[in-house]
Amino acid sequence: MSENVGFHLYEIRPRNDKRGVDLISDVLPFGRLWYYGPNATGNAIKFAKFNSRSHDALIRVYDEAGNVIDRHAHASGFKEWSTIHTPDFAHDEVRL
């Protein structure tokens, strides 16, 4: 994940034990946070957005097979987040 210097990169991945999701990032003090409960993914996205409100940021949400299923991005100077919902966005080049 450290190849993307200049912006915050977050990954939200399902846990192997099926007990919620992990929010993973180099900008987090311990590297990852565990979210559990009915809105685990939503809470992880909200935290990543709040934590990166003054930085360029990209949040990728993965499914159990390791495929990107959702992506949120924004450029610094926080105006608003954009959510990208295209079938092949996992292969798109990141442009913030």
Share of the chain above pLDDT 90, in %: 50
Q: Supply the range of the domain harboring residue 13.
A: 8-87
Establish if 70 belongs to a structural domain.
yes
Per-residue pLDDT for 2 more than 50?
Answer: no
Predicted model pTM = 0.74
Span 42-61, average pLDDT = 89
Establish if 93 belongs to a structural domain.
no
Q: Where are the alpha helices (DSSP H) in the chain?
A: 40-51
Establish if 96 belongs to a structural domain.
no
Count of the separate structural domains present in the chain: 1
Establish if 18 belongs to a structural domain.
yes
Rg (CA), the chain: 13
Establish if 94 belongs to a structural domain.
no
Per-residue pLDDT for 4 more than 50?
Answer: no
Establish if 79 belongs to a structural domain.
yes
Establish if 92 belongs to a structural domain.
no
Establish if 1 belongs to a structural domain.
no
Per-residue pLDDT for 1 more than 70?
Answer: no
Using CA atoms, how far residue 82 sits from 33, 44, 57, 59, 72, in Å, is 23, 16, 11, 10, 6
